[in-house]
Chains A and B, each alone.
Chain A
């Protein structure tokens, strides 16, 4: 496979697969203005159901496809009915967080059922290839193209010629008007989620067959690729999503041809960022349309923060400070050190997601930047560790802010996508920039924590160090919130249009929030690097970003004390009950879902 024609065919086939995911996303966005982060999980479910059908039930291919479509559609219906419908009258952040939570729960369920190891998914088709022009094409390529084209035709007929299809189109054009005309919006939502899930599931099956391999990491990739294709085509635009998918498939395929496989995803995400910056409404939207996000309505749940008296905070800090002097086990200290590190990350995220309303899903990238900077400085330039950690914080602040700045003009769901993509870009750069980051080998032998020439190896001193750093960061952040900047950040979160009308520059304040938050996250990553002594591109991953988000929601958005309480709770409670590591992520996902549904303001309330 080397000719350009081959790369083109490959690009179009992969594009077809993306289209199945992206069309579903576009349908859902059209009627509910929601980017369904769980779409990739349904794709994952589709792939594994397909595996069950093919390998265990030995179903013939047509039956396999129908089976997968039906099961996936059921999953979609369940998500709509129990995950999203209860949130219909909720604040705008709620469905966004809910689909993120659902996605994590589904992925974990699949992982726990089937184990995270990759498995083969045979295609049941003869392994022959036909010569076409200068390239070759196989039966599976034809199958994928066939499924893609016939789904598109079926969808077209459904939308154009059936009553329900008309209702879907009406609802996506103007939901309120459609409701007044008697369109049953619940039914439309159900239809759309069912359809999207069926398409997504089949897509997962086909991809599994195409690469003859399935594994649980497929989910996030699929969501990202689908979203990229959908956004490139214009959110909510169904034909646009198809074209965006083909474009994405071709860009990736040609990119791989020129630069190699490890860069595949990089092109996808760069395409996304370029489109988001230059044409945030997609390639086909007329240039100056109002953004598709709703302009009014509260983003976060209104609440009154729980007031904790100052003396209680002082007592709590004092208790935790003297804890190592009491007869506590090494294990307890270790757990709390992890909680303090997570607490720093949560402080950062609660400022960015809570105070200024930019729900970042790529926050672990800030940890990675801080960790690599600090590790490399101390290893290669012999910079004292304490200084290196500060430098890591500063690098995270600067680089993180520069990387995220293209998304400053985006709102709501788009910010989450952009940050997710930037997080992926950072980890891909770390993986591929071998001369600096040592690539997949990672960095080992990172010097231990030390301060003014004294190594901190005793767990108690490490504990005090991490705790002290976190308390200082929390105090400074508290001071920031009490200033005119805190007020300005919160105003931008509550209504960025009104904020602009009163002279608040979004670029300026979002930058400041990311600079401040980037520093805290970078410091956390730096400390972690010296603590672990070994890091690689997977040390700081999306799971940590989601964990931090759950902590922040649990504590209350923007709430400094809440972030720390949340970190202690989410690190400590699973340890207390000795819950196995595999189940923790599942529990975090469930906690996130329950919070969004029943206590969106978190334990201590939004600030």
Chain B
């Protein structure tokens, strides 16, 4: 499927080696604005490492990452967040001692006005001053964001709203994943990377998550999704990329990829993780 307009995100020859192991090996990828591309592949295929390279948490040994046609290879995660790239983590990285509200507010951090002046020394001192004096504008902004957080949390029905003041460590595993997504949404992302958002969820929770991702897509959000549950991948994706041992072994619309002999071999050869096997057999 050829892109007609310039893609929002584009990777060229992205490579990352750990010692002798090439975790990500010459990956090319294009993601159009408003599109949803899924990355699947057995455990250890290099999917999470690819996310780390795109979000600046790790730096590639070779290749290029372009976002809105600008080269962002090796930029710091702070900078990328400010440009509208948000992600969730496979293992769930909420701030355990922060309340649900505070966790999601951190998502809005890059939008705070107090944070804006990037001038060295003066900027941080100004931020300290604003935090201590809290003029009306700062208070109003905080209030507005708190309301916004409640709207975001309402997307998860009654899952998070009643627990808004509870510390994140006290939440169930599934709820922590939801908090992560809420936090990502608070950034008002232009690109959202979801790393196995349904890992550890039961079928009804998975369906709920699938509906949410579909909703986000319908709202025009551009999404890169790592997911083992093929059912969900097939429903949501414009395009599916299959990785194995760092390499892209197949790419295309869901159905086509699903029946690709190389893909089946890769999955069987590595003793595919349980969930995906069931799903593909179903």
- Which residues does chain A contribute within 8 Å of B131, judged by CB atoms? 480, 483-486
Given A302-B169, A500-B76, A501-B57, the answer on whether A508 and B97 have CB atoms closer than 8 Å is: no
- Cβ-defined partner of A502 (8 Å) among B18, B132, B169, B183: B183
- Which residues does chain B contribute within 8 Å of A491, judged by CB atoms? 95, 98, 102-103, 106
Closest to A494 in B: B95
In the complex, are the beta carbons of B93 and A503 less than 8 A apart? no
Closest to A296 in B: B91
Interface 9-mer from A63-71, A110-118, A241-249, A509-517: A509-517
How far is A83 from B121 in the complex, measured between Cα atoms in Å? 43
- Cβ-defined partner of B77 (8 Å) among A494, A500, A515: A500
- Cβ-defined partner of A498 (8 Å) among B95, B97, B114, B187: B95
In the complex, are the beta carbons of B132 and A494 less than 8 A apart? no
- Which residues does chain A contribute within 8 Å of B76, judged by CB atoms? 500
Given A494-B96, A498-B89, the answer on whether A488 and B128 have CB atoms closer than 8 Å is: no
How far is A298 from B169 in the complex, measured between Cα atoms in Å? 9
- Cβ-defined partner of B187 (8 Å) among A303, A502, A515: A502
A499 within 8 A of B: yes
How far is A493 from B131 in the complex, measured between Cα atoms in Å? 19
User: What is the total number of residues of chain A having a CB less than 8 Å from a CB of chain B?
Assistant: 39
How far is A302 from B97 in the complex, measured between Cα atoms in Å? 6
Closest to A302 in B: B169
| B77-118 CB contacts (< 8 Å) to partner A | 77-78, 81-82, 86-87, 89, 91, 93-98, 102-103, 105-107, 109-110, 112, 114-115
A286 within 8 A of B: yes
| A244-263 CB contacts (< 8 Å) to partner B | none
CB distance from A557 to the nearest CB of B (A): 9
Closest to B91 in A: A296
CB distance from A459 to the nearest CB of B (A): 32
- Cβ-defined partner of B110 (8 Å) among A298, A302, A502: A502
In the complex, are the beta carbons of B134 and A296 less than 8 A apart? no
- Which residues does chain A contribute within 8 Å of B187, judged by CB atoms? 502-503
In the complex, are the beta carbons of B81 and A503 less than 8 A apart? yes
In the complex, are the beta carbons of A503 and B95 less than 8 A apart? no
CB distance from B180 to the nearest CB of A (A): 8
In the complex, are the beta carbons of A484 and B97 less than 8 A apart? no
CB distance from B253 to the nearest CB of A (A): 31
CB distance from A607 to the nearest CB of B (A): 8
In the complex, are the beta carbons of B134 and A504 less than 8 A apart? no
A487 within 8 A of B: yes
- Which residues does chain A contribute within 8 Å of B124, judged by CB atoms? 508, 511-512
Given A491-B98, A494-B95, the answer on whether A501 and B169 have CB atoms closer than 8 Å is: no
CB distance from A308 to the nearest CB of B (A): 17
- Cβ-defined partner of A516 (8 Å) among B81, B93, B128: B128
Of A495, A498, A500, A504, most buried by chain B (CB within 10 Å of CB) is A498
B7 within 8 A of A: no
In the complex, are the beta carbons of B98 and A512 less than 8 A apart? no
In the complex, are the beta carbons of B93 and A502 less than 8 A apart? no
In the complex, are the beta carbons of A487 and B93 less than 8 A apart? no
A288 within 8 A of B: yes
A606 within 8 A of B: yes
CB distance from B175 to the nearest CB of A (A): 15
- Which residues does chain A contribute within 8 Å of B183, judged by CB atoms? 502
Closest to B81 in A: A503
CB distance from B215 to the nearest CB of A (A): 22
Closest to B184 in A: A502
How far is A485 from B76 in the complex, measured between Cα atoms in Å? 21
How far is A500 from B85 in the complex, measured between Cα atoms in Å? 12
- For the complex of A and B, the 6 pairs showing the least CB-CB separation, nearest first, are A503-B81, A483-B131, A503-B110, A494-B95, A498-B93, A485-B131
Q: Please give the residue numbers on chain B whose beta carbons come within 8 Å of chain A beta carbons, in ascending order.
A: 18-19, 55, 57, 59, 76-78, 81-82, 86-87, 89, 91, 93-98, 102-103, 105-107, 109-110, 112, 114-115, 123-125, 127-128, 131-132, 134, 142, 167, 169-170, 183, 187
Q: Please give the residue numbers on chain A whose beta carbons come within 8 Å of chain B beta carbons, in ascending order.
A: 286, 288-289, 296, 298, 300, 302-304, 476, 479-480, 483-488, 490-491, 493-495, 497-505, 508, 511-512, 515-516, 606-607
A-B pairs with beta carbons under 8 Å apart, 21 shown: A289-B18, A479-B132, A480-B132, A483-B132, A484-B109, A484-B114, A485-B128, A487-B98, A487-B102, A487-B106, A490-B95, A491-B103, A494-B95, A495-B95, A498-B89, A498-B93, A501-B77, A501-B87, A502-B187, A503-B78, A504-B109
